[in-house]
Amino acid sequence: SQTIHQWPATLVQPVGSPLSLECTVEGTSNPNLYWYRQAAGRGLQLLFYSVGIGQISSEVPQNLSASRPQDRQFILSSKKLLLSDSGFYLCACGIITIKETQYFGPGTRLLVL
Amino acid sequence: QKEVEQDPGPLSVPEGAIVSLNCTYSNSAFQYFMWYRQYSRKGPELLMYTYSSGNKEDGRFTAQVDKSSKYISLFIRDSQPSDSATYLCAMSPLDSNYQLIWGAGTKLIIKP
C-alpha cells in the first residue's frame, strides 16, 4: 500500500520569505499527485495536480507554484509568502480502484506572520 | 450555491448512539461518492466510497447514496469516543479523475 510523506509537520515563516514543502510517495508508481490547502474549519481547496513528471496543472491563481522533479516527489513553493498563505497543506496521491481514490499525507501546518 | 453542502456542526452525541452525517449536492453528473475522516491536525483518511446509487456497509459504517434527491449519508452505529473527528464528503463526476468536489466537513463529538 502507498505511504505519503510530508515535511515539515509545522512551519512558522515571516511574510515575504520563501517556501518549499516536499511530498514523497512510496508504494506506487506513476501516481497522480495533488496539493490541497485547508483553512481552519473549511473544506479542501485543490491547488495543483500532476499526472506525471514535469506536468503541473494549477486550479487557482495564487502566490504558489508546484513542481514534480521525480515520479514520486511533489514540491510546493513560493518566492514570497503572504499572510493569506497560512493554512494546512496536504499532499495526496491518487490510486486507481474502480475510479481514482485519493490518499493523503499527514499535512504541513503553515503559519505566516 | 455551493456544489456540495455539508453542515459544519459540531454534532455532539452520547457514546453508543447512531450517528447520521449528510451531504447534499447540486451536480447530477456526480457518480462517485466518498467519505473521509479527519482527526485534528491530521490528513484525511478514506473511510468509504460508493459508485452511483445504493448502500455500502463496512463494519459499523454504512454509506448511502440517493441520486434522485442528490443526497448522501454516512451512518455510524454504536458510536465510540474514537469516532470523534471531522467527516468530509467528496464526490466526482464519472469522466474526471481530478475533480473531487469537497464538502466543508462536519465535526462530530462522541461524549463518553
Tens of pLDDT, residue by residue over B44-64, are 999 998 888 889 999 999 999
State the pLDDT confidence band at B98, using cuts at 50, 70 and 90.
Answer: low
Q: What is the Rg, in whole angstroms, of the alpha carbon atoms belonging to chain A?
A: 13
Partners of B34 on chain A (C-beta within 8 Å) are 101
Partners of A3 on chain B (C-beta within 8 Å) are none
State the pLDDT confidence band at A95, using cuts at 50, 70 and 90.
Answer: confident
Check if A80 contacts B (Cβ < 8 Å). no
Partners of B97 on chain A (C-beta within 8 Å) are 32, 94, 99-100
Cβ neighbours around A40 below 10 Å, total? 7
* Chain B, nearest residue to A10 by Cα: B41
* Chain A, nearest residue to B6 by Cα: A43
Q: With a cut of 80, say whether residue A64 has pLDDT above it.
A: yes
Partners of A106 on chain B (C-beta within 8 Å) are 42-43
How confident is the model over A6-22, as pLDDT tens digits? 999 999 999 999 999 99
Could you tell me the sign of the dihedral formed by the alpha carbons of B11, B13, B15, B16, in that order?
Answer: negative
Which residue among A32, A103, A107 sits closest to B42, beta carbon to beta carbon?
A107
Report which of B26, B65, B38 is spatially closest to residue B49, judged by C-alpha positions: B65
Residues in B 72-101 with any Cβ partner in A closer than 8 A: 88, 90, 92, 94, 97-98, 100
User: For A43-81, b where at least 16 C-beta lie within 10 A, e where not — what string?
Assistant: bbbbbbbbeeeeebeeeeeeebebbbeeebebbbebeeb
Which DSSP string corresponds to chain A? --EEEEE-SEEEE-TT--EEEEEEEES-SS-EEEEEEE-TT--EEEEEEEEETTEEEESS-SS-EEEEEETTEEEEEESS--GGG-EEEEEEEEEESSSEEEEE---EEEEE-
